[in-house]
């Protein structure tokens, strides 16, 4: 059985939703980031990076959201969570997922964990100030993707990119960092996901509020 190590509402939410959408046989194990459980030796042994998500499989532990999402999609082909038979389309999906991981997530991290990137009070203030600007640039790019009326990130078909985007759209309201009203199509996408049974089940399982 797969074991997903997650923290409520964190980026691990995407993998959690993907496992549920896939109908996977899995157990969700909560890691308390607030109390620093990710840095305890038992967890570091499992994931030396001290982060969530981590997915324990029968062959070992996978980390990094785009990798875990791709793995879930490939190991549950019947759920059709990725274009598994089309290498270019699969790569294109992973390019979007990497953009979320390396640009969008990192933009948020400059506000949530500035000490990871800069030193000193002035540096921290500058890092935090950069987050809303960077998020605006990235979310405008994402909004543009939906200009053709597509319901999901990659078109008519739902893929693992959708719950991954959902995580970061939920975060737009955190600490007033983003301007959700500027991205109506992205917000409509979030509402579309809110109605999916798998999303509702995982939101309830993680104890998250609907109103963010
Ligand atoms: N590149 C990783 C980032 C994982 C990550 O930063 N996870 C955060 C939660 S969203 C975390 O575990 N933070 C704990 C910490 O930084 O101590 C991924 O995409 O999975």
pLDDT digits (tens, 9 = 90+) for 2-32: 999 999 999 999 999 999 999 999 999 999 9
pLDDT-derived band at 209 (thresholds 50, 70, 90) equals confident
Name residues whose C-beta falls within 8 Å of residue 21's C-beta, 6 or more positions apart in sequence.
Answer: 79, 81, 158, 163, 196, 198
The CATH number given to whatever domain includes residue 66 is 3.40.30.10
Residue 202 lies inside a defined structural domain of this protein = no
Over 60: is that where the pLDDT of 91 sits?
Answer: yes
Task: Pinpoint the alpha helices (H) of the chain.
Answer: 12-22, 41-46, 65-75, 87-99, 105-112, 120-145, 161-171, 184-194, 197-205
Mean pLDDT of all residues in 135-154: 98
Which of 36, 60, 79 marks a domain boundary? 79
Termini Cα distance of the chain: 32
Over 90: is that where the pLDDT of 212 sits?
Answer: no
Residue 208 lies inside a defined structural domain of this protein = no
* pLDDT at residue number 210: 62
* pLDDT at residue number 135: 97
Ligand 1 and 82: CB distance under 6 A: no
* Domain membership of residue 150 as a residue range: 87-196
73 and 98 share a domain? no
Ligand 1 and 151: CB distance under 6 A: no
Chain-wide mean pLDDT for the chain? 96
Q: What percent of the chain has pLDDT over 70?
A: 99
- Mapped onto helix, strand or coil, the DSSP state of residue 23 is coil
Over 60: is that where the pLDDT of 148 sits?
Answer: yes
* pLDDT at residue number 198: 98
The CATH number given to whatever domain includes residue 132 is 1.20.1050.10
Based on the structure, what is the number of domains in the chain? 2
Ligand 1 and 98: CB distance under 6 A: no
Q: Which two tokens stand for residue 99?
A: 């953009």
Looking at the CA of residue 109, tell me the nearest atom of ligand 1: 6
Q: Closest Cα to atom 3, ligand 1: which residue?
A: 64
Whether the Cβ atoms of residue 207 and residue 9 lie closer than 8 Å to each other: no
pLDDT tens for each residue of 75-85 = 999 999 999 99
Q: Any idea which of 28-32, 64-68, 173-177 has the lowest mean pLDDT?
A: 173-177
Q: How far is the CA of 52 from the centre of ligand 1 (A)?
A: 5
Q: Mark 125-147 as b/e (b = at least 16 C-beta within 10 Å).
A: eebbebbbebbbebbeebbebbe
Mean pLDDT of all residues in 111-128: 94
Residue 185 lies inside a defined structural domain of this protein = yes
Give the Cα separation of 70 and 43 in Å (integer): 23
Over 60: is that where the pLDDT of 211 sits?
Answer: no
Residue 201 lies inside a defined structural domain of this protein = no
Q: How far is the CA of 53 from the centre of ligand 1 (A)?
A: 7
Q: Closest Cα to atom 14, ligand 1: which residue?
A: 51
């Amino acid at each position: 059985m797969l074991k997903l190590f997650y923290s409520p509402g964190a980026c691990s939410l995407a993998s959690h939703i993907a496992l549920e959408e896939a109908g996977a046989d899995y157990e969700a194990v909560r890691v308390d980031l607030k109390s620093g459980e990710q840095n305890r030796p038992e967890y570091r042994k499992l994931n030396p990076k001290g982060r969530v998500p981590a997915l324990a499989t029968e062959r070992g532990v996978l980390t990094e959201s785009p990798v875990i999402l791709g793995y879930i999609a490939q190991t549950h082909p019947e759920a059709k969570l990725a274009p598994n038979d089309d290498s270019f389309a699969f790569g294109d999906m992973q390019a979007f997922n990497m953009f979320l991981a390396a640009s969008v997530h990192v933009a948020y991290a400059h506000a949530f964990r500035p000490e990871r990137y800069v030193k000193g009070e002035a540096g921290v203030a500058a890092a935090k100030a950069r987050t809303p600007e960077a998020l605006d640039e990235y979310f405008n790019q994402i909004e543009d993707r939906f200009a053709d009326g597509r319901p999901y990130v990659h078109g008519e078909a739902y893929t693992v990119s959708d719950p991954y985007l959902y995580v970061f759209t939920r975060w737009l309201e955190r600490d007033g960092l983003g301007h959700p009203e500027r991205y109506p199509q992205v917000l409509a996408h979030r509402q579309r996901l809110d109605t999916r049974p798998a999303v509702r089940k995982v939101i309830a399982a993680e104890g998250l509020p609907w109103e963010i």
